[in-house]
Amino acid sequence: MDESQLSDRQRQVLEAIRRLKQENDMPPTLREIAEAVGLKSVASAKYQIDQLKNMGWLDQIDNVSRGISFSDQGSRHQQEQEAAAESNVHIGKFVRVPLVGRIAAGGPILAEQNIDEWMTLPESLVGKGDIFLLKVKGDSMIDAAICEDDMVAVRIQKTAENGDIVAALLDDSATVKTFKQRDGHTWLLPRNSNYEPILGDEAQIMGKVVAVLRSL
């Protein structure tokens, strides 16, 4: 199993074990892992460790405080990550950003079940804050250089200013449009003359588009 198939929490636990082992030159205890990941109890850390053991990522010596270690599979993956890090030059800060699929109205945008995959992007491109990616459907924003199958980086915020390009939720359907308030109403404006403005009084603003990503 590739690490990208693990849950976000499971990846955090593996990263914490790697970091703590490197910092202290010894395997971490369950309590140290819990504190590093922000888990409320040692029992929560043990549950995550047990899951990772069952998946083949970790080994553990029973009744030994610092008995957690990477299995052969986990060690190979760690070596591959270290080799990749050494072979690439990283300049500046990078952030892990989720690509979000279907979103339900009223639900948390970044709920684990909504996330299709994670991507690592430079902070200089997407900026600070809580960022997620959406894949664009249709050509209603083509005059704003946002095309079908582009991915837009969206900074989560509930409000917007006139002229902002936003991601909004209408009837469980995410749309990317230009935000406009006029005469007591909210409008979601396309940037393609073939489409009509959408009355957005009932729309939920999910955030402001801060970057566009496109594969050639």
Catalytic residues: 140, 177
Both 128 and 34 in one domain: the answer is: no
Q: Quick one: pLDDT at residue 195?
A: 93
Both 177 and 195 in one domain: the answer is: yes
Q: Quick one: pLDDT at residue 29?
A: 92
Q: Quick one: pLDDT at residue 78?
A: 58
Both 31 and 58 in one domain: the answer is: yes
Both 129 and 199 in one domain: the answer is: yes
Q: Quick one: pLDDT at residue 18?
A: 87
Which residues of the chain fall short of a pLDDT of 50?
A: 84-91
Q: Quick one: pLDDT at residue 190?
A: 93
Both 157 and 202 in one domain: the answer is: yes
CATH number, domain with residue 80: 1.10.10.10
Q: Quick one: pLDDT at residue 66?
A: 87
Q: Quick one: pLDDT at residue 103?
A: 67
Domain of 43, in residue numbers: 3-87
Q: Express each pLDDT in 66-78 by its tens digit.
A: 888 888 765 655 5
Q: Quick one: pLDDT at residue 160?
A: 93
Both 64 and 125 in one domain: the answer is: no
Both 72 and 100 in one domain: the answer is: no
Residue at which a domain ends, from 87, 121, 139 = 87
Q: Quick one: pLDDT at residue 77?
A: 58
Q: Quick one: pLDDT at residue 178?
A: 96
CATH number, domain with residue 136: 2.10.109.10
Q: Quick one: pLDDT at residue 162?
A: 95
Number of domains in the chain: 2
Q: Give the C-alpha separation, 117 to 100, whole Å.
A: 8
Residue at which a domain ends, from 53, 87, 121 = 87
Both 98 and 169 in one domain: the answer is: yes
Both 57 and 109 in one domain: the answer is: no
Q: How far is CA 60 from the centre of its chain?
A: 30
Both 60 and 112 in one domain: the answer is: no
Q: Quick one: pLDDT at residue 88?
A: 44
Both 80 and 98 in one domain: the answer is: no
Q: Which residues of 54-85 are buried (b: 16+ CB within 10 A; e: fewer)?
A: eeebbbbeeeeeeebebbeebeebbeeeeeee
Residue at which a domain ends, from 33, 65, 87 = 87
Cα dist. 24→21, 52, 66, 121, 183 in Å? 5, 22, 12, 29, 62
Both 111 and 72 in one domain: the answer is: no
Q: Quick one: pLDDT at residue 105?
A: 62
